[in-house]
Structure formats: C-alpha cells, structure tokens
Structure 1
C-alpha cells in the first residue's frame, strides 16, 4: 500500500514493480537531464500568501492531479537547476549540445537545444490548445528558441542562427524524439511515478503561485542514504494542474530543481500562436535527413520506451535507494595517472573520489542529486544515493 498518509488510499495505487524500478531510475535521470545558478526559491516565484482552502487528503490531491484535464493554457515558466557540477570552462555545455547534434546537426534540433535546461536559470513561454497544438519558447538574452507542435508537424526554430528543424508527430500527436521535462507538470508526472512504500506523501498546507490558489503536496523518502531530501509540488486548487515543482537535496541548501509558473492563463491561446513558416533564408533540416546522417544514434521514442529499456539493467536495492548497474564497456575502468592515463587520468581523478571495498577499487563522481561509481573493472553503479550507498551496492553485487 502506498503510504499517502490518508484514509482513502487503496492498493490500486501501487504501480507494477518492474515499471516502478525503471521509473525510479528515470526520475533522477529526467531531473538531471533537465530533464544541473541562481537556484533556490526564485524571487519571481515567491509565495504571496497562504490561501484558506478546504481540507484535502494526499490521496485526494494525487487523484486531482491525475484527473486534471487542462487542454488550453498559456504562461511563463521559470526553470532553475543546480546539480553542483564542476566548472569545465564551457566544455560541459559544448558536450551536451554536441551530443544531440551529431557533429553537423542543426542548432534548432530540440534534442540539443533543450539540454540547455541542464544548468542555470531559464525563462520559458508555454502555450497549449489541445493535444495537437503546443509551443515552448526558450527566451535568451538576444535570441529565442521555439519548439512548435501543430498537427502532424513539429518545428524547432533558433533565431540566433536562423536555423529550422522540421520533424513529424506520431499517431498519438507526440513528437518522435525524447522529451525533456520543461514544465511543473512534466516534473510532477515523473516524481509521482516513483511513489511506493518507501515514500511519505502528505499535504503540506496551501500557497499561491502565479496568482493561483494551490495545495502543496510534499513527497519525502522514508529511507536514509538517498540524496533526495524532499519534493514539493504546488497543485492548482481548481484545475489540479501542477504549478510549481521544487526538489531539494538531502544535503540541504538551495534547490536542485525549481520550476514554476510566474504567470498562467487558462484561456484559449490565439490560433496564430502555433503558426510557423521557415523565415526567408533560414537553413531547414528535415528529421529524416538528420537521422540518415547519424545512423545508429536514434533516441528513445518516448519516456515509456526509455523506462522499458532500463528494465534490462540490473537494479539493486529498493525505492529511493535503488542503484542501476551498467557496464561502461571499458574493461580496465577509467584511466588513471598512476596507470599511465596521463593528463586525462589526472583530470578525471580531480573530479572524483577514490574508493575501495570488497568490489575492488573505483571512483565516485558526485552531483547534488545523482552519483555514479565507476569500478576498475568497468562496471558503473548509478543512483540518487550517497557515496556510501554506492559502495555498499557494489560490494553486494560482488
């Protein structure tokens, strides 16, 4: 029974064990992948009072989120992420964008552009009119990137480079590419997949977000050893739409992820919001052409496909202490300066902590949320757990 700490919880709310384990791993990946420094409770998202709302149980609030059917909205979302990644002098962002572009790809490709949400603070303008029309615009200092879904067409446009990326949606109206969480609802959907008997879920009062009265849903691990401290979701009292998502680490301090509306309207957006034609002189890259240039680099077609693929990995532990075990393909593990790895070995050594155990030797690379242990025999242990938990997992798998 999922511990929603309310009287109306039923066993029907418990997810399938295999999918839950995969989803548990997807949660930190989605959060890290977004979907890494202003951080903290952004002033623009500051609460403006605690509204007096009718009492509601945690299970009732979760049901309210599940039944939410907001088809039309527009607004502004502020997303801040702070994974505590080391400063690599611009190398980090270059690697992230290059990973999605495949060398000669388009700067308008959503797979590369939306990875910018991995770090720092960003302002997004969002709009939706039913399942066939959505738009997300990433506002930059002197430019704007827009991702538009209009019927069967999916357009990405980077005003800075004047490049256009054109793809198509599948029969369900979803873009045939991986999805990066960008709105509070995206983050909330992933977090709620991870709720099980290792989780405490309660209603933590009320709040106002973007001028809307909302309930606060508080999700906290019952286990020690996880890097997740708590997840707070502000849920619109009328529509059930998540308006704000905040993930704080167990180590304390500023939030790792803070995403929330600063302005929102549930009126029907103007039809012209979703109109798009490539500007004159723009370079247009077609999805099929891009895929042909980068064979063997296809991405999961959906979050569900990604979750299913993770079930092929070994998963150690339970709940928030779950650790995924992969193989890096490097039989000798990471290069080290002592073993002749030279400058690269020294550089990697400066980023991680050397550890030993029954498993042998390895190195732990840490962020404020997801940590990874790479052993000398090439195995990789990854999870939203601390260093000691990774070492224990590696010892248990010995």
Structure 2
C-alpha cells in the first residue's frame, strides 16, 4: 500500500463493515417465505436463497458521513490518485452496473468521466481493472472460496449479510413491512442496536419477496435524519447475464499485478479472499455493534508521505490523546502515535480507551 493511501484504504471498508460488524450467530436456513405475513426470521432465512441468483442491474450508492470537502487545485484534486479516489467513494454519489451468475461469477462496473473500473470474478479468478491508470490486478482465490471478492464496492447483499450476522440479543428486529425497490415487491426489515455505546441508529434492509435478494440497504447514524450510507438497485432484471461479461484479458500495455491465494486457508482473515498479509491482519475488541478493529503498529506510518497526504491528514483528523482521530456520523478512526489504526462504529473516546 502506498504510504499516501493508507488513510482512505482503512476508512473505506470500515464505513460498511465496521459500522455493522459482529460475530456470526447462526446460519440462516434456505426456506421459502411462509404466507403473506412472514416473520423477520423467515425474511432473513430467505436471503440464503439468493446466493445462486442470476441477474443484471444498476446500483446507486450514496454517502453522507459529514466528511469535509476535499481540497482541489486547478487540475482537479490535489491529492494523489488512490487517496482521492478512495475518499471520493465516501463523500460522493456513485452508480455501478452489476452482473451475477450464481455465487462465483460476478462483475461490477463503475464508469465515471470517460474512465472505467471493473471487478470481475469467474470462479477462483478475480480481476480488477482501472482504465485510467491502465492497471490490472489478478487474484487467484482458494478453490473452495464461495463469497464474492471484496474491494470496498458494496452491494445490498454485502450489507445484508453483515447485518444479518449481527442479529444477536444486542439487536432489535422490527416486524417486516412491505415496500417496493426498482419495481420489485420487497419486505423491509429494520435492525436497531440496543447498545447506546455506538454510532449506528439502524440498518434497514429491503429483501425481494420472490427471490430473497437484498435490493436496498440503508445505514442510519444516530441523530441523523438522512441516511449515512445507502446502496440500492435502481433497475434489476433476473436471468443469466452473457458469459463473456465474466471473462477478462488485460490490454497488452497494462501493468498487471498478481497475487496467488490458492493455498491460503479460507478461514484466514474471514474467507481467505482478503489481501491481508498475516502480519497485517486486524485484531478485534468488543462485540456486536461495538466491535473495534485494530491494525498493527506501522500501518499509519506517514513519515514518507507527501505534502498532499499530510494536508489531507491535517484536514480530516484532529489531535487527541496519543494520536489523531476522525469521527464521522457513522464511524471513527484513531491513528496512534506508534502507527496503529483503530476503527469502529463507536465514538473516538472508545477507540482511545481500547488502544491503551
């Protein structure tokens, strides 16, 4: 990871995963919904059916975390590319096209300003492509890996899975109500943390009544009227996408990076699909909605960062006991003086206490 890019690289996955992180409680059975008034448990169980879904659609993602606007120059963002792009994902609205053919074939396309970014999974092969930078990454997954590769691009299924894992005695689950998303009838669930020690107000999930596919996921911060984060389908058509969409060959002049995870146990760093080195894997403290993730010393080493990255750090964070921190409406990140990074959907004070 570039030293100038470490901050947004830590924040980006935390916004989604950290906000609703919790240990898995139970495996939902793949059972159909019963009648016209299902229980919350039946709606949750129906999500398991959607892992083999085949569809094409368009996603819309919006974020309102209260982050300041990025500094810009006459030529656009004055930040280096990776940092600017990552934080842009947290402060701007984005759309993407998504294609799925079962659990092991997915493609996400984000097109902006004559550039395209792609994430393609076809079995154990995962490709990422950035047309602007002319850079591709090829990751080989373990043969038994089932989950979709994660790169910070979230779908309603990603959010729903993590929220479902958080359903413990620490969570209130409201009775399902009817709604419509992208022309499809859905059941809406509202999950509310019982704990008062975190920043999450609620997680709202809309699940297709017929297929169990999550169609919309909304994360509401406490005390906020507008969603802090939302991703939803704006259009959705069921049926197998064209097979060619899951094939990718980088252009001859592209820079290609490869990473072979085929021998990594699938229980390492969750599924074996994450690009964490063992020494860099996070540790966790707390439980359920109050979970805090910690990355080891050296993660936040900014000694070789450029002037732009330093300016970004000064703008986004404030000095606190033992380091610097940022608290958005939904998630906090604490950078210790010894280079550790702690993050979670909790106040900064909780991170400072956990670091001692």
How does the TM-score come out when normalised to structure 1?
0.64
Distance 1:60 1:175 in 2: 22
Report the counterpart of residue 80 of structure 1 in structure 2: 62
Cα displacement (A) at 1:365: 2.1
Aligned 8 A contact 1:64 1:240 in 2: yes
Report the counterpart of residue 382 of structure 1 in structure 2: 343
Cα displacement (A) at 1:55: 0.9
Which of 204, 217, 227 is the aligned partner of 1:255? 227
Aligned 8 A contact 1:33 1:115 in 2: no
Structure 1 pair 301–128 and aligned structure 2 pair: CA distance change class (3 A): farther
Structure 1 pair 350–268 and aligned structure 2 pair: CA distance change class (3 A): closer
Structure 1 pair 57–254 and aligned structure 2 pair: CA distance change class (3 A): same
What is the root-mean-square deviation in Å for CA atoms of aligned residues? 4.2
Which of 70, 81, 86 is the aligned partner of 1:94? 81
**2:304 is the alignment partner of 1:304:** no
Cα displacement (A) at 1:193: 1.8
Cα displacement (A) at 1:135: 1.6
Moved more, 219-228 or 62-71: 62-71
Moved more, 174-183 or 138-147: 174-183
Cα displacement (A) at 1:125: 0.8
Report the counterpart of residue 30 of structure 1 in structure 2: 13
Aligned 8 A contact 1:34 1:115 in 2: no
Distance 2:153 2:61 in 1: 10
Count of equivalent residues = 314
3-state SS of the aligned residue for 2:289? helix
Structure 1 pair 143–328 and aligned structure 2 pair: CA distance change class (3 A): same
3-state SS of the aligned residue for 2:198? coil
Structure 1 pair 255–238 and aligned structure 2 pair: CA distance change class (3 A): same
Report the counterpart of residue 284 of structure 1 in structure 2: 254
Aligned 8 A contact 1:35 1:180 in 2: no
Q: Gapped runs of 5+ residues in structure 2?
A: 1-10, 20-34, 72-76, 261-266, 304-308
Cα displacement (A) at 1:74: 0.6
Report the counterpart of residue 61 of structure 1 in structure 2: 43
Cα displacement (A) at 1:286: 3.5
Which of 318, 326, 336 is the aligned partner of 1:365? 326
Structure 1 pair 149–203 and aligned structure 2 pair: CA distance change class (3 A): same
CA distances 1:150-172 after superposition (whole Å, capped 9, x unpaired): 35544434344555444444413
Structure 1 pair 114–35 and aligned structure 2 pair: CA distance change class (3 A): farther
Cα displacement (A) at 1:35: 9.3
Distance 2:326 2:101 in 1: 42
Report the counterpart of residue 323 of structure 1 in structure 2: 292
Aligned 8 A contact 2:18 2:345 in 1: no
Aligned 8 A contact 2:126 2:149 in 1: no
Q: Gapped runs of 5+ residues in structure 1?
A: 1-27, 37-52, 98-112, 293-299, 336-343
**2:53 is the alignment partner of 1:71:** yes
Structure 1 pair 374–212 and aligned structure 2 pair: CA distance change class (3 A): same
Cα displacement (A) at 1:65: 1.2
Moved more, 181-190 or 159-168: 159-168
Distance 1:218 1:207 in 2: 12
3-state SS of the aligned residue for 1:258? strand
Cα displacement (A) at 1:70: 3.5
Structure 1 pair 258–265 and aligned structure 2 pair: CA distance change class (3 A): same
CA distances 1:109-160 after superposition (whole Å, capped 9, x unpaired): xxxx888634411111111223443221112132322233335544434344
Structure 1 pair 272–263 and aligned structure 2 pair: CA distance change class (3 A): same
How does the TM-score come out when normalised to structure 2?
0.71
Aligned 8 A contact 2:40 2:176 in 1: no
